[in-house]
Structure 1
Amino acid sequence: MASFAKFASLLATFQCVVALSLGNPLERNLAYRSPFEEHPQFARDTGAIQKRHMQAFRKRQTVPAGTFGDEHYPTFYGGDFSNTLFLWNAGVNFTHAVASGDPLSTSVLLWTRAVPLPSTTPSNPSSTPFLPDQSVPVCVKFEIATDNAFKHVVDSGNAFTSYDVDFTVKVEANGLKADTSYFYRFSDCTNASIMSPVGKTRTFSDANTPASKVNGGKPLTLAVFSCSQYQAGWFNAYNFAATNVTPDAFLHLGDYIYESLGNGAKIGRAVLGRELATIHDYRQRLNQYRTDVGLVNAHLAGPWITVWDDHEVADNSWKAGTADSNDTSTGCSFSPSGACFTDRKLAAVRAYHEWMPIRQVAADDKLRIWRNFQIGQLLDLTMLDTRNYDRDVTDVYYNTVVNTLADGQNRSLMGPAQENWFFDTLSQSKKRGAIWRVVGQQIVFTQLNESGVFDLDAWDGYRQNRARVLSHLYNNKIDNTVILSGDSHANWVSDLAHPNDTTTYNSATGKGAIGVEFAGTAVTSGSSFGSGIQPAAADAISKVYVTAKGNEDLQWSEGSYRGFFTLQISTKTLTATYYAMNNVSNPNLDGFASAQFVVNSGENRLSRPIAGGSVKAGVLKSQA
């Protein structure tokens, strides 16, 4: 058996060597690609990388093999491969387990990171361990199967990675069956015994699947997260969801990482490096975040669908700058990281696409991650970018001029291209007969009067853009729209209606609304009500908010607990359940369901009595 295993490993190595010498197998790893297909200049030049590998190959044909210490490379039944192409054969470490994302009906993205293990020369075990240089590729094999024993593998293949993409690997598994659960793993091509953990993923139903047949006829459950700051606490919300909720997919609305520093040392959460600026900085921060056990478990548990917010680049980012940097001479020098905005943004986007299991969307412009998932005729899940794509200037603290711009007619969060695409997507969703339209985006949509203060970094700073969205829904009689929001570090649940409209909309009954917004709190980031604020004090503030003039749409507010919420979607109802974590200062699963809200199909409002008339945290308008 041992001989057979050795033979299999050597055969796999031989196949990898042959593959690497024929064509360009680097193309299988999507991490090398540009995040924007219409902007190939942002890709890693796989031709150049392949050429670099081949130059190493040619060198090995003319330089005596003994200088390379080839004893640790495999041979194939005695064949002398001492001058073959250099392929790392000392083993790899799957440092960050596995992840999957952006499931379609016949494919899903699979992700891992395969870091070469240090090696010594076998003839001299006491020699100094060394790692491969940039000319050395690493080969991994992926497998996806219908069973966790991998007896029924439905797709497999090899992919190569290297230091150029931080040894990340992102492949698309194809030929899958719709609405089906799968198991997947990676292994070292040169040593099949070195395997990654096994992840679980799934595909969605085909767009034409009747709504009653989606997810095998069971409600589809999505877990929704935002704002996970490493130094602020442990990512218990992810683990709670993976362990106690087991959703069909995980949605992240942004601020998956934070660029800033901060003192988390007292809870063992000090971040590495500096404020993020370079590709190394962003990779290092993603690396550290992905070591959190809760986040690891959540990525293992199911596919993720993500969009970014501002902190994946920098605080309060917009299309031409952030709170502490832009592309002026002053802006570049003002950045604590010493980088101009464009440099930071390109580095952040590059690292994000390397580390996240997100598809690279075909685009006719820059930065596109906005996309749509047609999940049978049950719903369209539309993911927007209201932050980086083409957002007009936002509130960056010192530019008080934004107060005078908030009502600007042409002011936009999305830019014309995305906005038109969004309206077309909503209309097409209705036309094709989808029951629900669920919109994942970054910032609170509903008007929020917070004791006379409006968040101009949210939709309140782009009021005409919000009006255009609401008018499109009303004018085209588009039912069952549910907007999801993050960013605010607090919980808000509202009917959707034009702000301050007490003629069309009745706050008590919900009559006249055109949809619902579910805005979620942070995984760990400090409450906007006050960092560390206790429930009683937060509820006192919530009571003021839900009764304030101008907050007619707002029906529930909660500002103390960190957590997440789920959507359970069926043909007749959409149910949102909010979960609160009792403690994020250490790893635990101590949480509870704080409130539950129901939306009945066709009603376009929260079902009354809201939350059944009772919540375990926060304040309902009806209670106040």
Structure 2
Amino acid sequence: MFSTLVLPLALCFVALCEATALYDRNLAYRSPFAGHSQSSVDTREIEKRHIAHVRRQTEVANHFDDEHYPTFYGGDFSNSPFIWSGGLNFTHSVASGDPLDNSVLLWTRAVPIGNPDQSVPVCVSFKISSSSELHGDIVDSGEAFTSYDVDWTLKVEATGLHPDTKYFFQFSDCTNPATQSVIGTTRTLPSPDTPANQVNGGKPLTLAVFSCSQYQAGWFNAYGYAAHNTSAEIFVHLGDYIYESLGNGAPIGRQTLGRELATIHDYRQRLNQYRTDASLVAAHQSGPWITVWDDHEVADQSWKAGTADSNDSTIGCEFSPSGACFTDRKLAAVRAYHEWMPIRQVDVDDKLRIWRNFEIGKLLDLTMLDTRQYDRDITDLYYNTEVINTLSTFPNRSLMGFEQEKWFFNQLSQSQKRGAVWRVVGQQIVFTQLNESGSIDVDAWDGYRANRERIINYLYDNKISNTVVLSGDSHANWVSDLAHPNDSTTYDPLTGKGAIGVEFAGTAVTSGSSFGTNISPAAADVKSTAYVAANLDLQWSEGSYRGFFTLTIDPNTMHTTFYAMRNITFANLDGFASANFVVKAGENRLSRPVAGGSTLAGVLKFNGTKGV
């Protein structure tokens, strides 16, 4: 029999379990470093800190099954000293991501008004419904804690949802339900066995694809244009969502805060600032995001063991202007990314893995790769370019890492075996070989030629059809048939005969053109003319405009539209469709005439020529 002195201790254990469940429901604590002694956020330790300041209840509550804490009865939190009740501010609106057929991740940031003790958590409730007013059928709801330990971010999984369904969601303050976030829009994917012609209710499904959004380089108008002026239902980001550098955005009101990113505080501050852009806010509110990182989420030219300016070595890290060794810097960047982005942890035993696959009915598989951070062999760090050139053809050189490469091959075969019409591959860097005025970018797939050749051979040898590669990173637009690089014996650039797929590589949201920052359309077209002439597989090149592209997909056809923003020096939605391309199922090439024979920007290889 418990004494009156022991009873409060027993109650502490009960309350601890209940409260820890509310911490654990916030995936920002557990993703991606659960159990990692150096970088994890231990919710048990946080709760011990919290509970040390709490007077325990005096009634045993272990027979109650209720998520609410600390009353266990779903009572009013407004007078509770155990969680913050001084008001909340949803500072960064809402977001959602990584949808499945029965669940989706929901995200917000709930900052306490005032200066609470760090031992006091914030309690946030959420609800999700198929009603835009969130009336009637609430499909899932619940509560979770957040705290300064994860920068007040909150990431929860809404479950029990119906496949292929549009949903609306909202967060509120547990202690004052009248304090609410805006209502966000999201959706689930169709179940994997949904027939292709029934996906999205039988209507074409549109993905918007982005890369390379540098805050100091311009306003993120492309995001807003996609949210307001297209039918995009899923937003795909191929990396460089943030940049670690400072630059000089002051002349256009885009001065970055802080310094070159190195610590967890630095990365959180930069993500915080980026997420204040109105167009980016609108895009996150409008639909679920599926993302991967590129190099700048950590630092420029990052690979598995370093970056251009921070490489761990036996003599230390004095050459790093950030003042941080690479390993510490990377762990801080990855942790902040998982706090601020609605992305799932793929494998609890593989902290860096974000390569994953989404089965969108039998219409398509969207396979997201990591060709930058995961297991990439050394790249061009600016001072070693000639060395990398000599390594670029080595057969054992890998961009993906052999574990990811094996998984990717299996995924391609499994996708075709299960009857998916399309295989869409989202990854960071330009896949097609590009001769740019006599130079080769060895930081792209051209620096890992054997890895690329293994992929192309796998597609040909296994007769994998309808493969479309999506790329970013280059800050320019490139559209190509996929074939053995510059091999005229197996591929005809006029007709596309011999190709095994298509690549759509998009320009940046804001980052400066690789053709030259602020280059005019006319000057860019001079370079594009040379590029399409020098590269057999390249069918369209455009290097002046910032923007994005969309894929509108049905069982028979993929329509791809590139959008150009006219001015990114101030916030606006002024853009236009610069080019349109068609890929027909089973043809494994761009339909001829490419882009209908004309575009509103850039240069086609056969402008107006009707290839058969």
Q: TM-score, normalised by structure 1?
A: 0.90
Where does residue 595 of structure 2 map in the other structure?
Answer: 611
Which residues of structure 2 form unaligned runs of 5+? 1-13, 59-69
Conservation of the 8 A alpha-carbon contact between 1:252 and 1:307: yes
Q: Does 1:32 align with 2:16?
A: no
C-alpha spacing 1:579/1:192, structure 2 compared with 1 (3 Å): same
- Is residue 567 of structure 2 the alignment partner of residue 583 of structure 1? yes
Q: CA deviation at 1:500?
A: 2.0
- Does residue 1:304 correspond to 2:300, yes or no? no
Q: Indicate the SS of the match to 1:567.
A: strand
Aligned residue for 1:25, secondary structure, equals helix
Match of 1:56, SS state, is coil
Q: 2:193 aligns with which of 208, 216, 221?
A: 208
1:88 aligns with 2:97: no
The residue that corresponds to 2:130 in the other structure is: 146
Matched residue count? 580
Match of 1:45 in 2: 42
Contact 2:363–2:422 (CA under 8 A) maintained in structure 1: yes
When residues 244 and 466 of structure 1 are mapped into structure 2, their CA distance, relative to the original with a 3 A threshold, is same
- Equivalence for 2:65: none
Contact 1:56 1:85 in 2 (8 A): no
1:238 matches 2:234: no
Q: Distance in 1 between matches of 2:568 and 2:78?
A: 54
- Residue 9 of structure 2 is matched in structure 1 by none
Equivalence for 1:416:
402
Greater displacement, 329-338 / 226-235: 329-338
Whole-Å separation in 2 of the counterparts to 1:79 and 1:346: 39
- Contact (CA 8 Å) 2:508, 2:547: kept in 1 or not? yes
Is the CA contact 1:102–1:359 (under 8 Å) kept in the aligned structure 2?
yes
Match of 2:450?
464
Tell me by how many angstroms 1:501 deviates. 1.1
The structural deviation recorded for 1:331 is: 5.9
Structure-1 separation of matches of 2:557 and 2:77? 67
| 8 A Cα contact 2:532 2:604, kept in partner | yes
- Does 2:594 correspond to 1:598? no
| Structure 1 residue 174 corresponds to structure 2 residue 163 | no
Matches within 5 A, 1:392-541: 392-400=377-385, 401-541=387-527
Do 1:411 and 1:464's aligned partners in 2 also have CA atoms closer than 8 Å?
Answer: yes
Match of 1:114 among 110, 115, 128: 110
Flag the 1:365–1:264 CA change in 2: closer, same or farther, 3 A: same
Q: Which amino acid aligns with 2:322?
A: S
**CA 1:49–1:474 in structure 2 vs 1: closer, same or farther (change >3 Å)?**
same
Q: Is the 8 A contact 1:105 1:176 kept in 2?
A: yes
Structure 2 counterpart of 1:66: none
CA contact (8 A) 2:78 2:175 kept: no
Cα displacement string for residues 563-613 of structure 1 (whole angstroms, at most 9, x for unaligned residues): 000000000001110000000000001100000000000000000000000
C-alpha deviation, 1:332, in angstroms:
1.4
CA spacing shift, 1:277–1:209, aligned 2, 3 Å: same
How far is the alpha carbon of 1:34 from its aligned partner?
A: 3.4
Alpha-carbon deviations, 1:73-92, whole Å to 9, x = none?
99x9x99998x652100011
Which whole-Å CA distance do the structure 1 matches of 2:586 and 2:77 have between them? 72
1:328 shift after superposition: 1.4
Per the alignment, residue 99 of structure 1 pairs with: 95
Letter paired with 1:595 = A
Q: For 1:419-474, what per-residue CA distance to the aligned partner results, in whole angstroms no more than 9, with x for missing partners?
A: 00000000000100100000000000000000111011000000000000000000
| Structure 1: tracts of 5 or more residues without a match | 1-16, 62-72, 119-130
> Is the CA contact 1:181–1:201 (under 8 Å) kept in the aligned structure 2?
yes
- 1:185–1:265 distance in 2 versus 1, CA, 3 Å: same
Relative distance call for 1:386 and 1:80 in structure 2 (3 A) is: closer
Post-superposition shift, 1:19? 8.7
Write the distance in 1 (CA, Å) between the matches of 2:470 and 2:316. Answer: 33
Over 3 Å counting, the alpha-carbon distance change for 1:451 and 1:291 in structure 2 is: same
Q: Aligned match of 1:359 in 324, 344, 351?
A: 344
Q: Judging changes above 3 Å, is the alpha-carbon distance between structure 1 residues 42 and 34 closer, same or farther for their aligned structure 2 residues?
A: farther
After the TM superposition, list the runs of 4 or more consecutive aligned residues in structure 1 that deviate by more than 2 angstroms. 17-24, 36-43, 58-61, 78-82, 363-366
CA distance in 1 between partners of 2:411 and 2:516 (Å): 38
Q: CA deviation at 1:623?
A: 2.4
Query: Which residue of structure 2 lines up, in the alignment, with residue 70 of structure 1?
Result: none
Please report the RMSD computed on the Cα atoms of aligned residues, expressed in angstroms.
2.1
Quote the offset at 1:150 in angstroms. 1.1
Q: Deviations over 1:519-560 (max 9, x none)?
A: 000000000000000000000000000001xx1000000000
Per-residue deviation, 1:246: 3.1
2: CA distance between counterparts of 1:34 and 1:294?
Answer: 27
Q: Which moved more, 1:271-280 or 1:86-95?
A: 86-95
Conserved in 2, the CA contact under 8 Å of 1:36 and 1:362?
no
1:24 CA drift (Å)? 3.5
Q: Equivalents in 1 of 2:497, 2:413: separation in Å? A: 22
**1:37 Cα offset (Å):** 5.8
Against the structure 1 CA distance between its residues 22 and 331, is the aligned structure 2 distance closer, same or farther, given a 3 Å change threshold? closer
Name the CA distance, whole Å, in 1 between partners of 2:316 and 2:501: 41
Structure 1 residue 133: deviation in Å?
2.3
Match of 1:101, as an amino acid? G
1:285 and 1:155, CA in 2 relative to 1: closer, same or farther beyond 3 A? same
CA distance in 2, matches of 1:339, 1:455: 28
Whole-Å Cα distance in 1 between the matches of residues 16 and 85 of structure 2?
15
| Cα distance per residue 1:296-316 (max 9 Å; x no partner) | 000000000000000000000
**Mean Cα displacement is larger for which, 399-408 or 431-440?**
399-408
Please give the alpha-carbon distance, in whole angstroms, between the structure 1 residues aligned to 2:218 and 2:77. 54
Distance in 1 separating the partners of 2:249 and 2:124 = 36
> Secondary structure of 2:54's match?
helix
Contact 1:277 1:344 in 2 (8 A): yes
Shift of 1:213: 0.4
Q: Decide which of 562, 565, 573 is 2:546's aligned counterpart.
A: 562
CA distance in 2, matches of 1:293, 1:210: 37
Change (3 A) 1:331 1:480: farther
Is the partner of 2:284 in helix, strand or coil? helix
**8 A contact 1:184–1:200 mirrored in 2:** yes
> TM-score normalised to the size of structure 2?
0.92
| Structure 1 Cα separation of the partners of residues 498 and 77 of structure 2 | 79
In structure 2, the CA distance between the partners of 1:363 and 1:187, relative to structure 1 (3 Å rule), is closer
Matched with 2:298 is 313
Q: Distance in 1 between matches of 2:219 and 2:122?
A: 33
Q: Which residue does the alignment assign to 1:324?
A: 309
Instruction: Give the fraction of aligned pairs with identical amino acids, expressed as a percent.
Output: 71
CA pair 349-79 structure 1, distance change in 2 beyond 3 A: closer
- For the residues of structure 2 that align with 1:537 and 1:80, how far apart are their CA atoms? 63
The answer for the alignment partner of 1:336 in structure 2 is 321
